[in-house]
Amino acid sequence: MSLSGSGTKESAGTVVAAHGSVVDIRFSPGDLPAIGEAVDILPEGAPRIVAEIQLHADETTVRAVALASTAGLRRGTPARATGDPVRVPVGEAVLGRLLNAVGDPMDDQPAFTEDVPRKPIHGAAPTLAEQSGKLSIFHTGIKVIDLLAPLVKGGKAAMFGGAGVGKTVLIMELIRTTKEHHSGISVFAGIGERSREGHELMLELRGSGVMERTALIFGQMNECPGARWRAGLSALAIAEHFRDEAHDNVLLLVDNVYRLVQAGGEISGLLGRIPSQVGYQPTLSSEIAEFEERIASVPGAAITSIQAVYVPADDFTDPAVAEIFTHLDSSIVLSRDMASEGLYPAIDPLASSSSLLDPRIVGAEHYRTAQDVRKAITHYRDLQRIIAILGIEELSASDRLVVARARRLVRFLTQPFMVTTAFTGKPGRTVELEATLAGCRAILAGETDDWAESSLYMVGDLDEARERETAAEAVAR
């Protein structure tokens, strides 16, 4: 978008047609607002409807996408071009608040005053010269992520998975651990998610004391596609303000990027664009790039983004999923098979990856341990079909040893979360990277060969597993 928010003159228009979320507005000849500009539609006796101009239908008519419901909207309703793009409130005033896609409060608290700064939701990504080239690992305290798919400050990571495999729970845990271990601001964008999930997130943030340093922007599942389409950019504008003006490190959490793509597809169809492969909008690549490329670090501050991505029908070759993959530093893949076995977080240790898992970045010891863990689990999965048909007794002694250690590694990489304590009764654990590496090396070296697999399941570090094993032995005696 080329609009910079300089505030050109306002012009008046009239609604001439409404097609769902797409509204045609007529202006005087020669007074047509620019594409990307915000228009306030002013129905009598009802709240204003903010719309964003997407195309010029003819010399006097623009076609705009409404960012709120158009139910009951009539022809002849007055409209006013603002001369600016959609602008949302930013700064300290938005912390602890729940906003919609256009920055209006949704939390029954007072509206923002006129002195609160506002920022356009459209903006340019930092140039290569402006970005910071420094790589700093972002530790999460979650064993399998820190070991096999490490995150970087100022980078982008996404969690891919179908419905019900634990994406939202993982996002909530990351908000909590960020508050405890990383100073900075959290901005959460809820795009097309259920009201229940948003309510649970609010309660969790308030209960954990994180809410006062978090801004929440929601375009919920029941809202119009325009609101879902722009909620992510609104959250990004708030995060950019904290990075560029306040020089704070920002954690941008997005749940769910795929819903942003879906909303864009709905808008594209309403605008009459011819769909591309698998029915997606022809602008799929540019829409994802417009969002993802603005997430970057600059000297002194960074936006680190962790995103949930729904995978339709568990098909990772879906065009939208494949396009999102291309922008990421770390990919965390959640497995339905692991979730069905109760192995939480259900992160697939083989499918998950990170461009940062390099000995020059994480160190030789971390890299070697991660590769050895992957090698053992890969060998175990290669043998699973044979085990299912013939039984483990038919394997060679060396293969049986590898299988036993790989099963213990998989269980050691499970972990109880703080945010699930109320449901499971198990206190959550945050594990330092050194403890994760030490535990994996001990298992690979055979120090736990005589332990029960259950001793390693849902624990923090190896010391906790050792205590559980010792207790189990005492009971057995």
| Catalytic residue set | 167, 193-194
Token digits for 23?
A: 């509204």
Q: Which residues of 23-51 are buried (b: 16+ CB within 10 A; e: fewer)?
A: bbbbbeeeebbbbbbbbebebeeeeebbb
For the chain, how many helices (H) and strands (E)?
14, 19
SS3 content of the chain, % helix, strand, coil (to 5): 40, 20, 40
Closest CA to 226 of 263, 194, 189, 269: 263
Integer Cα distance of 449 and 85 in angstroms? 63
Residues in the chain, overall count: 477
What DSSP line would sit under 60-105, residue for residue?
Answer: SEEEEEESS--TT--TT-EEEE-SS--EEE-SGGGTT-EE-TTS-B
Integer Cα distance of 311 and 319 in angstroms? 10
Q: Answer for the pair 185, 215: CB distance below 8 angstroms, yes or no.
A: yes
Note the Cα 452 to chain centre separation in Å. 36
Integer Cα distance of 266 and 273 in angstroms? 10
Q: What are phi and psi of 19, to 5 degrees?
A: -120, 85
Greatest CA separation for the chain? 92
- Between the alpha carbon of residue 461 and those of residues 79, 455, 464, 465, the distances in Å are 61, 11, 6, 7
Q: Answer for the pair 195, 219: CB distance below 8 angstroms, yes or no.
A: no
Q: Answer for the pair 343, 410: CB distance below 8 angstroms, yes or no.
A: yes
Integer Cα distance of 285 and 463 in angstroms? 47
Partner residues linked to 22 by β-bridges: 19, 65
Torsion 162-168-169-171 (CA) sign: positive
In the chain, what is the straight-line distance between the N-terminal and C-terminal CA atoms, in Å? 72
Q: Answer for the pair 292, 307: CB distance below 8 angstroms, yes or no.
A: no
Partner residues linked to 250 by β-bridges: 185, 303
